[in-house]
Amino acid sequence: MGKVDQISEDVVIFSRKIFGEDFVPLHRPVFEGNERQYLVDCIDSNFVSSVGSKVSEFEELVAAFTGSKHAIATMNGTAALHTAIKLAGVKPGDEVISQALTFVATCNAISYAGAEPLFIDVDIDTMGLSPVALKRFLAENAEKRKNGTFNKTSKKKISACVPMHTFGFPCRIAEIAKICADWDIALIEDAAESLGSYVGSRHTGTFASMATFSFNGNKVITTGGGGMIITDDAELAQRAKYITTTSKVPHPYEFVHDEIGYNYRMPNLNAALGCAQMERLSDVLVIKAQLADKWNKFFHDRDINFVKAINGNIANHWLNSIILDSRLDRDEFLTMTNDNNVMTRPIWTLMSKLPMFKNCQTDGLENSLWLEDRVVNVPSSVPDGALKKLNR
């Protein structure tokens, strides 16, 4: 038996031991708290749609958890990103720096704002935007003028930068923030995957003027579908609430809207789910850390590279990740495990290879290409009954 065959078989056996004999999903939600009760409360109150007390309650819980002054709930993470990018001052025709190694939502949101992404390489160890690559790209390709930073080749304004904390591993966000400040480029953190991840004692998403989260069904906690913008800036918070609520001018009965707005509000039903999920978030993070420990030992024993947070940062362990030796090994591992009903997934196809982004400017993307061939996620759910055991 080859090395990859053996490891695939071991992963199947180990996954079944931890998660049960049937189909093992990559990441499933857990509803073992007050979810049902809060949903019933919502229905009984008649407030199931975009007005209701659960929305502001959920916003306050997320603001408090992340240590932000304000949080604005939205219908999904992509809508939150679109809103934040627009409020950062990105205009149609601008360029926005991001990673080629990210989920497509990051780049879709940049496109919704009428801007085009520029793809900069990631670091191998964080799988997030590389400050070294960012600095080099700007030094070679950008010039700073009175009204901002411009791309010397395309002549377009580089108005924002959207790094992403891949699978919940914090990227070098403090260094990135410094470079963006030096170049007068707005910074927005796509923290969709990193609720519960910290750089030192600071929650991811608090290094930029705005950051966004996702509460899609596969994330650390879920509202069914949902997103959130966090910011310390009261004016940005007010603007975010306003344009995601159809830009309606407050009035007891008149319908007046003074700019193009969006119906990006989170319904009260989804927020109810979010409130119950927030009550369990700290416990979920403890269990996920224990699971990551087990996977770490498992892969260490088999001489496989298991991804960890750098410099003592804290990852939420959303998706446990390994780095295999080659594309061939990766494909073999994916086929073997999925054929045996244990769900594993490769990292994303680089954005720069997708038809709608294939003409966007990139740097060499050396690390992104290397990781694309090798990174695989293994089952990362909170196991059945683990939360109950923790609280006993």
Could you list the residues that contact ligand PLP (CB under 6 A)?
76-78, 81, 102-103, 105-106, 164, 190, 192-193, 214, 216, 227
> Minimum Å distance from CB 328 to ligand PLP?
27
By C-beta, is 298 or 348 nearer to ligand PLP? 348
Burial of 292 (0-12, 13-18, 19+ CB in 10 A): buried
The residue at minimum Cβ distance from ligand PLP is: 77
By C-beta, is 161 or 336 nearer to ligand PLP? 161
Q: Both tokens of residue 243?
A: 């344009």
By C-beta, is 216 or 277 nearer to ligand PLP? 216
> Minimum Å distance from CB 149 to ligand PLP?
24
User: How many Cα atoms occupy the beta-carbon half-sphere of 246 within 13 Å?
Assistant: 8
Region label for 122, one of left (φ > 0), alpha (ψ between -120 and 50) or beta (otherwise):
beta
> Minimum Å distance from CB 165 to ligand PLP?
8
> Minimum Å distance from CB 217 to ligand PLP?
9
Q: Both tokens of residue 373?
A: 């061939």
> Minimum Å distance from CB 284 to ligand PLP?
17
By C-beta, is 40 or 356 nearer to ligand PLP? 356
Q: How far apart are CA 336 and CA 212, in angstroms?
A: 35
> Minimum Å distance from CB 20 to ligand PLP?
26
By C-beta, is 42 or 81 nearer to ligand PLP? 81
By C-beta, is 269 or 386 nearer to ligand PLP? 269
> Minimum Å distance from CB 174 to ligand PLP?
20
Query: Strand pairing of 186-190 and 142-145?
Result: unpaired
By C-beta, is 149 or 223 nearer to ligand PLP? 223
Residue 117's SS3 state is strand
Strand partners of residue 118: 97
> Minimum Å distance from CB 168 to ligand PLP?
10
| Angle between the N-to-C axes of helices 35-45 and 268-301, in degrees from 0 to 180, rounded to the nearest 10 | 170
Residue 298's SS3 state is helix
Under 8 Å CB-to-CB from 290, ≥6 apart: which residues? none
By C-beta, is 52 or 227 nearer to ligand PLP? 227
Question: Which amino acid type is present at position 85?
Answer: I
- Cα dihedral 122, 124, 127, 132, rounded to 10, equals -30
- Distances in Å between the Cα of 68 and the Cα atoms of 7, 212, 225 are 43, 12, 22
